[in-house]
């Protein structure tokens, strides 16, 4: 074939129910269109789409607890699975701390929490490299940051 020919075969369905009921004994000619054109019976090309249903999206891919103090985080995994992660934040220090993800537009995952306090939050991560840090004062520069790889 040298030409790209798109042949649309429209199988016009025979509306056999169109017989009016007002006439009596009108033997409806069962006009069954046995359209046997194109002798080739469609046999090949039975593609079986693989079962690509990957179930439901993971709700809570992971969860971890991070402990903040002066001036460090503890408990932030170096790697996380992609998805939504639930984070429990314990501020074991005296100064207020928070938890922010730089690559998400400095999204605040845990708001500023006073010393001795705790909070929870969630963050949804796609595969990539992220920097978790504390945005209070100069805490980040003082060590409150960690790189997390999401796979
Ligand atoms: Cu801090």
- Residue 123 neighbours by CB distance under 10 Å: 22
What's the CATH number where 129 sits? 2.60.40.420
Entry pTM: 0.61
Kindly give the distance from the C-alpha atom of residue 125 to the centroid of ligand 1, in angstroms, as a whole number. Answer: 22
Kindly give the distance from the C-alpha atom of residue 134 to the centroid of ligand 1, in angstroms, as a whole number. Answer: 5
Question: Does residue 24 lie within any of the structural domains?
Answer: no
Number of domains in the chain: 1
Question: Does residue 15 lie within any of the structural domains?
Answer: no
Question: Does residue 72 lie within any of the structural domains?
Answer: yes
150: alpha, beta or left? (left if phi > 0; alpha if psi -120 to 50): beta
Kindly give the distance from the C-alpha atom of residue 23 to the centroid of ligand 1, in angstroms, as a whole number. Answer: 89
- Per residue of the chain (151 residues), give pLDDT as tens: 434 333 332 333 333 333 434 444 444 444 444 444 444 444 444 444 444 434 344 444 589 999 999 999 999 999 999 999 999 999 999 999 999 999 999 999 999 999 999 999 999 999 999 999 999 999 999 999 999 999 9
Question: Does residue 100 lie within any of the structural domains?
Answer: yes
DSSP state of 106: S
By residue range, what is the domain housing residue 115?
A: 62-150
């Amino acid at each position: 074939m040298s030409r790209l020919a798109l042949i649309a075969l429209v199988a016009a369905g025979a509306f056999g129910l169109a017989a009016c009921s007002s006439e009596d004994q009108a033997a409806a000619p069962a006009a069954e269109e046995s359209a046997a054109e194109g002798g080739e019976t469609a046999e090949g090309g039975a593609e079986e789409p693989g079962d690509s249903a990957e179930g439901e999206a993971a709700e809570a891919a992971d969860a971890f607890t991070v402990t903040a103090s002066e001036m460090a985080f503890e408990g932030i995994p170096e790697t996380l699975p992609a998805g939504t992660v639930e984070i429990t934040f314990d501020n074991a220090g005296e100064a207020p701390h928070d938890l922010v993800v730089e690559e998400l537009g400095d999204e605040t995952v845990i708001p500023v929490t006073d010393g001795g306090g705790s909070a929870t939050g969630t963050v949804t991560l796609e595969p990539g490299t992220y920097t978790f840090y504390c945005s209070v004062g100069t805490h980040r520069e003082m060590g409150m940051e960690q790189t997390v790889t999401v796979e």
